[in-house]
Amino acid sequence: MPWVFFYKNNNKDYDIINKLKNSLSKCLTHYYPFAGRLPSPPPASYVDCNDQGIEFLEASIDVPLEEFVLKRDPDETIIKKLVPSVGIESNRLLEVQVNHFSCGGVGVAVSITHKIADGFTKAYLVNHWATVTRGGSPINPTFISYPIRDNNQDGQSHDRMKSPSKDKYTQKRFVFCNSKLGDLKNKINNTAGVTPLNPTRVESLASLLFKCAVNAATTKAGGSFQPSNLTLAVNMRDNVVSTASLNNVVGNVVNLAVAKMATDDIQLNEVITSLRKDRMEMQGGVIKDVDENGEMFLKKKMGLVLDKSRRTYTCTSLCNSPMYKVDFGWGNPLRVILQTSKFNDSSYFILMDTPSGDGIEATVILKEEEMTFFQNDKEFLSFVQD
């Protein structure tokens, strides 16, 4: 999960690297598992907290900072060079790369393995690091885990999960301002019947992206519709973690709400209703603790991957997370970019707040030929910001 935080000219801060290293060292005393290693060979069932530390890299780049701050679709090959790589084969858990631009700007890239941390963990960890850099005090996080299930019990299933996609995927970023998202919400309410759904921005946009992506796939297939699923990642901290400070909980505390559509006449209100029903069942007491949440997540994920009769579109929302509040003493970031090349083997929607907070930036990853139909969908274009 490599994120890059871009900041304006900081030539006045001559001791930037030492400040970042010292404050990160203080944080890692409290976030000690991230300074350890996953035992080799994988899969590992625990973190060896051996204090080997993290990899901290520096780089210089002659591409203008504006290329990443102002351009809606920066070159992904260049973004890839800005980030350290915590890959599947790596046993490191956290890596940092500080990129210096000739204008004096800085791009701080942070990679944390998804094996032990979700996006919420990462957002709060980086914020705590920034707070300590500004002179604040470290916090004491609460670490949680759930039992490892042996996916090798079914060798054939394990191989099918690992098999790479043969399709070529492409990605594009689109911006939806809050006023357009308000129009979308009103449209959904008007078709929901007597009782309006009052969907959130994320529910509204996720259902629209899903509908238009399925329509693009159907058009590409000559009108042949394939039953499709939409999954939306759900933060389960409020439901399964008993601690006073939920923001300090470190781990993978997420699950999946799933909407299953069996016909090509997809209605946005039906997608949202289906997502909510699945979410309410999880959050209404069916899942009682972290262990049970982990087991249900694995069961859902495995079922979706192995069901080849249906196509699954995955949506992850980072909206309302504090990533645009990460201030190392230079002010809030001008932009935050999630480097997404590792997602380019499945249909994916990644939602983030815009830097100003007045909308949502959506990264859409689809099969290359389907993207052509998707980005020309008239319903979709009616809500995209010019």
| Cis peptide bond prior to 41, omega within 30° of 0 | yes
- For 233, which DSSP code? E
- Report residue 327 CA to chain centroid gap: 20
Contacts for 221 with CB less than 8 Å, ≥ 6 apart = none
**If we measure between CA atoms, which residue out of 177, 245, 172 comes closest to residue 205?**
177
Residue 238 has pLDDT above 90, yes or no: no
What is the per-residue pLDDT for 160? 42
Q: For the residues 357-364, what does the mean pLDDT come to?
A: 95
Q: What sign results for the dihedral spanned by CA atoms 162, 370, 231, 267? A: negative
Residue 113 has pLDDT above 90, yes or no: no
Tokens representing 162? 């690992």
User: In whole numbers, what is the pLDDT of the chain averaged over residues?
Assistant: 87
Cross-strand pairs, 230: 259, 313
Q: What pTM was computed for the model?
A: 0.90
CB-based contact 365:170 (threshold 8 Å): yes
* pLDDT bucket at 157, cuts 50 / 70 / 90: very low
Q: Which domains does the chain have, with CATH numbers?
A: 2-143 (3.30.559.10), 162-381 (3.30.559.10)
CA–CA gap between residue 244 and residue 42 (Å, rounded): 34
Lowest mean pLDDT among 161-175, 210-224, 268-282: 161-175
Check if 30 is active-site: no
CA–CA gap between residue 119 and residue 1 (Å, rounded): 8
Which listed residue (30, 48, 100, 114) is catalytic? Answer: 114
Which listed residue (167, 183, 327, 345) is catalytic? Answer: 327
Q: Which residue has the tokens 């052509």?
A: 372
Q: For the residues 352-375, what does the mean pLDDT come to?
A: 95
Residue 151 has pLDDT above 60, yes or no: no
Higher pLDDT, 166 or 3: 3
Check if 114 is active-site: yes
- For 149, which DSSP code? P
**If we measure between CA atoms, which residue out of 78, 57, 75, 79 comes closest to residue 2?**
79
Residue 156 has pLDDT above 60, yes or no: no
